[in-house]
Amino acid sequence: MALDYRKCAEEIVSHIGGRENVAQAAHCATRLRLVIKDNSKIDKKALENVDGVKGMFENSGQLQLIIGTGTVNKVYDEFLDVTGMTAATKDDVKAAAAAKQPAWKRALKSVGDVFVPILPAIVASGLMMGVVEALGKAIPSFASTDWYSFLDMVANTAFAFLPVIVAVSAARVFGGNIFLAAVIGLMMVHTGLLNGWNVGSEDAINSFFGITTGKIPTWNLFGNFKIGDYVVGSISRHGYQGHVIPVMIAIWFMSKIEKWLHKHVNEMIDLFVVPIVTVFCTALFTFVVIGPIFATLENYVLKGAEWLVQFPPGAMLMGALYPATVVMGLHHMYNVIEAGMLSSVGLNTWMPIASAANFAQFGACLAVGIKCRQAKLKTVAIPSSMSAALGITEPAIFGVNFRFMKPFVFGMIGGACGAVFGAITKIGATAYGVTGIPGYLTIDNAGIYTVLLLISGGIAFLLTMLFWKEDNGEETGDIASKASAKASDEKAPAKDDKAGEEIVAKTVISCSAGEIGQPTKGKIIPYTEIKDETFASGVLGEGVGIEPDEGVVYAPMDGEISSVAESKHAIGITGAEDMELLIHVGVDTVEMKGDGFNTLVAEGDKVVKGQKIMEFDKAKIKAAGKPDTVVVLLTNSDDYEDLKLS
């Protein structure tokens, strides 16, 4: 009897909480992909009994209903007609699923997404800047050579134009035009504006603008109209070198404006109207709104820091908060404090505080580089930590510590401890502009300074080694994920699982997106020979079956745990290029209700290839009368034309 597509769609809608509970809907070759607003409204048992639904699972925030090839598109058409929804792509559904995450987590992810592509540039530049500056301080005669000037130019280019690089990357993340974004980034470091690193220097201000007041002139676009003390439309004529957050906010705003204009401007005039209006509106927003906010913030931070560093508790607080000001791009203004100290008392006691904060970020980043097993992360973390040791912390903070959050926090703790030690011992420097290892060239007591670096870097290093885990949800900054943390802390696998690495070395599934290893030791069989019609038909995706020799499952690829069955018998992993993998232990083992299964990961955890993720009792599965075949399926195998199976 032919399937009644209309009835199937109507029943699906009724069991998922109705049209109002669906955010997005799309389909692939075999599955209906839905993003649900409130999962508590789903009647899963009823859904599984709908005629035409051959199975269901949740993956990456999506409810996926298995309908079958040649049928799913017809059910989908009826689904759209019943709900009144418009067709969406799989990318639309993925975006909608991601949008369900908390706002703070989406924001933190955006920072990571922006910085990951530009890491090679800032890591290389940061490390080179540290080396060049250290050589210049160690060998004064070298600092006056042409070679020094050339190397200094090469090294600091990425940081001098960091807003441009960040703007282009942010446009890719937020969906804006990368060339318009580049214009905004260039505008923020325009040569007609005072270099942002000189905003606190009266000499630099006077020299640049040809004045004697020591105050940065403004452009008052709307005259002297005031609201309180604020002159509406006033623009301080300085750039944003070294700033990150203002650039990202500006490009986010630009992308929103551009998309809105594309939807509302007639196609005939879109080509020249949209770019002009987008750039003009973004420029106004950036310099009129963001500018005053950050200028005010800089003043408050500067005055607060000047007052706080007079007392050990204040020094401890600034040692902790210093990395946060690096994230906001406000740390360059501290040169004003240092210059003031040198002119008034002849000793720069701010330098040990900054050095403690920077060296702590070095310690945390180094621990990540040593502890992690992902080759790509290790190649970023180790050089970034070296750069931080030389006083250039941006690569370590943006490339590693802030992305994973816990190392960043541990660095703040280490910085606080080192800073209070520096304040108590009253050490200081005879110059400013260098921290970390190059700081030995200006510090007044090398022995105490060594202890300060050991305290700050050592505490951050130890905390990160002890409490940061590469395989839990905290790697994406989710420090509030109690369930994930508990699962990782209580059931974390051994760090060096050689058996797992050897087993998964054999590839069982490969495609253009990557390779999937063998998750458990045993005989490999074609998925068509699995003793279950749903698995054998390929409706859930193509893959392999494994007759296991032992009751252990290892992660067959790097990725994120997208789902863990309540009955603990199945785990979903999302890998590179959105590969969606399902590892299902046994056939009909859901009926065992978790007896004999022990999952070692939780949804949202990051896993690395070869990491132990599940244990199961072969004897209990056999006693229950169930096959113990480990099913390994790429559930979106229809997305890949070059799929190869072992």
Structural domain ending residue among the three candidates 100, 128, 158 = 100
Please indicate, yes or no, if residue 343 is contained in any of the structural domains. no
Higher pLDDT, 24 or 187: 187
Please indicate, yes or no, if residue 386 is contained in any of the structural domains. no
**By mean pLDDT, which of 12-26, 340-354, 398-412, 588-602 is the weakest?**
340-354
The predicted structure's pLDDT at residue 137: 79
List residues bridging with 542 in a β-sheet: 634
Model pLDDT for residues 216-226, shown as the tens digit of each residue: 999 998 888 88
Looking up residue 24, the CATH number of its domain turns out to be: 3.30.1360.60
The predicted structure's pLDDT at residue 495: 42
Please indicate, yes or no, if residue 169 is contained in any of the structural domains. no
Structural domain ending residue among the three candidates 100, 126, 159 = 100
d(CA 556, CA 517) in angstroms, rounded, equals: 4
Q: Which of 493, 470, 472, 468 is nearest to 604 (CA)?
A: 472
Please indicate, yes or no, if residue 457 is contained in any of the structural domains. no
Model pLDDT for residues 164-188, shown as the tens digit of each residue: 998 999 998 888 999 999 999 999 9
pLDDT at 547 over 90: yes
Summary mean pLDDT of the chain: 84
Joined together, the tokens standing for residue 508 give: 């069982």
Domain span at 77: 5-100
Give me the mean pLDDT over the 301-326 stretch.
Answer: 84
The predicted structure's pLDDT at residue 256: 93
Model pLDDT for residues 318-331, shown as the tens digit of each residue: 899 999 888 776 67
Please indicate, yes or no, if residue 329 is contained in any of the structural domains. no
Please indicate, yes or no, if residue 603 is contained in any of the structural domains. yes
pTM beyond 0.75: the answer is no
Joined together, the tokens standing for residue 3 give: 């399937």
Structural domain ending residue among the three candidates 100, 127, 148 = 100
Exposed, middle or buried: residue 21 (CB in 10 Å: 0-12, 13-18, 19+)?
middle
Model pLDDT for residues 552-606, shown as the tens digit of each residue: 999 999 988 888 888 899 998 988 877 889 999 999 898 898 999 999 998 878 8
Question: What total number of domains does the chain contain?
Answer: 2
Active site residues: 28, 584
Please indicate, yes or no, if residue 20 is contained in any of the structural domains. yes
The predicted structure's pLDDT at residue 59: 64
The 8-class DSSP code of residue 285 comes to I
The predicted structure's pLDDT at residue 472: 39
Looking up residue 608, the CATH number of its domain turns out to be: 2.70.70.10
DSSP H or E segment with residue 26: strand 22-27
DSSP 334-393: HHHHHHHHHHHTS-B-HHHHHHHHHHHHHHHHHHHHHH---HHHHHHHHHHHHHHHTT--
d(CA 449, CA 453) in angstroms, rounded, equals: 6
- What Cα–Cα distance (Å) separates residue 179 from each residue in 134, 244, 247, 268, 269? 36, 18, 14, 21, 19
Joined together, the tokens standing for residue 598 give: 């022990």
Three-state DSSP state, 412: helix
| Angle of helix 103-115 versus helix 162-174 axis, rounded to 10 | 120
Please indicate, yes or no, if residue 399 is contained in any of the structural domains. no
